[in-house]
A and B are shown apart, each in its own frame.
Chain A
């Protein structure tokens, strides 16, 4: 009897979780670029790695650092700090690469983004997300999903698909 109750309890819990997932709470991984804090949908994060030297790819924008071997797949590394012109890029063993997945089009791509440090996993109510104001030129509004305030800090939520899709779009202009 007690056993059954336990199972029920577990089921209720997972059920509740699922409900909350589908309703209002989204989890984000937040990271720091310079002095600013950004967040990406945690379901898009495949893994977090430490910085390792990349193989440079010639004649691409400066913020595309190159490619690395991720268990047999060739994965490009993009320095978000340079992409957003935020901080002078320094590469130490503590520099972090967040490997993100994106489902642009029919197939998924994997891409690594360099950030200064990963800070937290934050749970956000959908209703707490404010739309982003116009930033002007530095960060185009396009890949900012919205803003959210966490413990008095402002976190900018990035749209991974758009962020990574942009790289592909540029290729056509390039």
Chain B
């Protein structure tokens, strides 16, 4: 019985992609010239676990490819190789290549052999070309890689016996770790009939031979009805120190190719031909050259589940959740006990129980919501690479600063915010930051800075993209808008309104289109995406000094704290986070502004009043005068404003239901909820209302 490995594929891929991200960020943070050994170690570890995992799952292409990266990294780690910018770029390229390979394997597609070969060639050139320990013979012996990628015709081999074919290639240091292959073989022969073939072609010339190194590998055939796990168990102690491949004998199988596990360190001049035991195919593997083959094993071909949406959760969070559920169960049984033979004198007890239940329900809800919360670094971690690539392409010098990566946001927000952010950062890179010469001429440091910042404010998360580039030229914006007929020539606009022109569809001031940005589709899409998440986007820009783009997003999309207010006979919910305060006003605080309606004076500010009754055309119920109602002072889109309502009803948490699911978007309303009595109340879209009243 072999274990069905495919069930672990999903986890494996997730871990691989995480590992790749770790490698990527590690590579980007490498400071050429001043190398932190720990940083290289991190990268190395990530590469190593990808190699290990893919070997286990039979994705040999990946394992072999990663092996080359590992060799390169190993030399860097030991200080035998200088870390050059070129090497880092090559490694970054191979991270991409690996990601591509893994994605295609995950989707059960053919791996793009050509691009793999390309990257591999680059890696090898790097490995061989600039190695501090030259390995000239090996280089000259390397066959063209592209040729070795070709799929070879293989004959399936069917044998009668049950058992395993084991290819065991120990690393050089196997003996140093105190392991003795002979002992392993003895263990194996206890399981069944064991035949061992030894490959000795990797043994170097006598004068180069180090008796402490293990230069030989074995092809073992183990006959008998033996579980794969039993075989693997025997090798479990040496797993880290060898290449191990297991394949069942009975199944028709494609041949495996032994690979030279020798790192370039002892570049062996002996490049002999290897005889593959299984299919007698002949390949010539010089050290550090690995022959690629698309995995065709039955295991790999098994249907891996298609990428499904999953989430990794801190166990702490789950523990809290379980605790909460326990509390709820206890309270529920307590209430059940009270209800069983209820008498009026138990009312106090009942009330206490209900209060407890309420508290626990709220806590439970909170911990469930917490599970959905992910740190924003899930999004941010992709950007160093983006900045690195684009700035290289544009010949600009740019550093990216990340602030507040651990700020937590709802998973849905994390997923949807990525594309808009990529767009905004590309914009900053392309249009914002100037060329180095231009920067120096402007008296700014040569290297531009883009800061990506996330923090909580109220019930919102704020994401800011700050660059110290050239900023936006408002007069140019306005001229362009007039030229495109988006704005009347006579229009008088505030600076803010002018900046917001860039959100108009079809608006671009870039003189030249590039493949990075400038087509004028985009900013309007960005804004629409962010608004669909219930957020908004602001720009501050100063010519010559830089721009700041701030995105405000709700923390969660499912539940909010609301203040219910009465307008006529109707009930509306105002999100608590947008309420600054609620006040009663007197007649003399009121002022009329011609044409613009009413304002009232709050401390030293004049704030506009929005009469909910008028803006929503409420006809029912007795009309109230401003001084009879309550002014709810709210903040929306950075502006304060007073909503005149009849009465404040109460605060409660409400579950947000979409109006659009069955209906449509309604101006001034962000959603609906169901109140305790089963009726529906609308949730006000405060920024939208403020906008509605100002326009």
Among the stretches A4-12, A53-61, A119-127, the one at the interface with B is: A53-61
B669 at the interface (CB under 8 A from A): yes
Chain A neighbourhood of B682, CB < 8 A: 55, 57-58
Cβ < 8 Å to B, chain A residues 45-74: 53-60, 66-69, 72-74
Whether B680 pairs with A55 at a CB distance below 8 angstroms is yes
Whether B659 pairs with A73 at a CB distance below 8 angstroms is no
Query: Given A74-B657, A74-B672, is A109 in contact with B616 using a C-beta cutoff of 8 Å?
Result: no
Task: Give the interface centre of B657, B662, B666, B672 by most chain A CB atoms within 10 Å.
Answer: B662
Cβ < 8 Å to B, chain A residues 1-57: 53-57
Whether B668 pairs with A69 at a CB distance below 8 angstroms is no
Whether B662 pairs with A74 at a CB distance below 8 angstroms is yes
User: Of all chain A residues, which has the CB nearest B618?
Assistant: A58
CA distance A102 to B257 in the complex (A): 59
Cβ < 8 Å to A, chain B residues 646-693: 657-659, 661-669, 672, 674, 678-682
B570 at the interface (CB under 8 A from A): yes
Whether A76 pairs with B616 at a CB distance below 8 angstroms is no
A128 at the interface (CB under 8 A from B): no
Task: Give the interface centre of B571, B679, B680, B681 by most chain A CB atoms within 10 Å.
Answer: B680
Per-position 1/0 for A126-151, Cβ under 8 A of B: 00000000000000000000000000
Chain A neighbourhood of B616, CB < 8 A: 58-59
B234 at the interface (CB under 8 A from A): no
CA distance A138 to B668 in the complex (A): 31
Whether A55 pairs with B681 at a CB distance below 8 angstroms is yes
Whether A60 pairs with B659 at a CB distance below 8 angstroms is no
Whether B662 pairs with A110 at a CB distance below 8 angstroms is yes
Chain A neighbourhood of B227, CB < 8 A: none
B617 at the interface (CB under 8 A from A): yes
Q: How many pairs of A and B residues are in contact by the CB < 8 Å rule?
A: 69
User: Of all chain B residues, which has the CB nearest A60?
Assistant: B666
CA distance A12 to B275 in the complex (A): 70
Chain B neighbourhood of A57, CB < 8 A: 659, 663, 666, 669, 682
Whether B678 pairs with A69 at a CB distance below 8 angstroms is yes
Q: How far does the Cβ of A82 sit from chain B's closest Cβ, in whole Å?
A: 16
B482 at the interface (CB under 8 A from A): no
Q: How many residues of B contact A (CB 8 A)?
A: 25
B615 at the interface (CB under 8 A from A): yes
CA distance A70 to B38 in the complex (A): 59
The range of chain A's interface size is: 20 to 34
Chain B neighbourhood of A163, CB < 8 A: none
Per-position 1/0 for A98-112, Cβ under 8 A of B: 000000000101110
The residue from B571, B617, B665, B680 contacting A74, defined by CB atoms under 8 A apart = B680
Whether B617 pairs with A58 at a CB distance below 8 angstroms is yes
Query: Given A67-B672, A69-B674, A74-B672, is A55 in contact with B679 using a C-beta cutoff of 8 Å?
Result: yes
User: Of all chain A residues, which has the CB nearest B616?
Assistant: A58
CA distance A162 to B678 in the complex (A): 30
The residue from A60, A69, A167, A168 contacting B680, defined by CB atoms under 8 A apart = A69
Whether A74 pairs with B658 at a CB distance below 8 angstroms is yes
User: Of all chain A residues, which has the CB nearest B674?
Assistant: A69
Chain B neighbourhood of A55, CB < 8 A: 570-571, 672, 679-682
Chain A neighbourhood of B663, CB < 8 A: 57, 67, 74-76, 109, 111
CA distance A59 to B661 in the complex (A): 19
Chain B neighbourhood of A59, CB < 8 A: 616-617, 666-668
CA distance A66 to B616 in the complex (A): 13
Chain A neighbourhood of B665, CB < 8 A: 171
The residue from A69, A75, A168 contacting B664, defined by CB atoms under 8 A apart = A168
Chain B neighbourhood of A111, CB < 8 A: 662-663
CA distance A138 to B562 in the complex (A): 43
CA distance A57 to B670 in the complex (A): 12
Query: Given A55-B570, A57-B666, A58-B666, is A69 in contact with B679 using a C-beta cutoff of 8 Å?
Result: yes
Query: Given A58-B618, A59-B617, A74-B658, is A68 in contact with B680 using a C-beta cutoff of 8 Å?
Result: yes
Chain A neighbourhood of B618, CB < 8 A: 56, 58
Chain A neighbourhood of B661, CB < 8 A: 73-74, 107, 109
Chain B neighbourhood of A73, CB < 8 A: 657, 661-662
Chain B neighbourhood of A60, CB < 8 A: 666
Whether A74 pairs with B659 at a CB distance below 8 angstroms is yes
Chain A neighbourhood of B672, CB < 8 A: 55, 67, 74
Chain B neighbourhood of A67, CB < 8 A: 659, 663, 672, 680
Q: How far does the Cβ of A170 sit from chain B's closest Cβ, in whole Å?
A: 9
CA distance A53 to B620 in the complex (A): 13
Chain A neighbourhood of B666, CB < 8 A: 57-60
Taking Cβ atoms with an 8 Å cutoff, the residues of A that contact B are 53-60, 66-69, 72-76, 107, 109-111, 167-168, 171
Taking Cβ atoms with an 8 Å cutoff, the residues of B that contact A are 570-571, 615-618, 657-659, 661-669, 672, 674, 678-682
Add 17 more A-B contacts to A55-B680, A68-B680, A73-B662 (CB < 8 A): A57-B659, A57-B682, A58-B615, A58-B618, A58-B666, A58-B669, A59-B617, A69-B674, A73-B657, A73-B661, A74-B661, A74-B672, A75-B663, A76-B663, A110-B662, A167-B664, A171-B664
Q: List 15 A-B contacts (CB under 8 A).
A: A55-B682, A57-B666, A57-B682, A58-B616, A58-B666, A59-B616, A67-B680, A69-B674, A69-B679, A74-B658, A74-B680, A109-B662, A109-B663, A110-B662, A167-B664
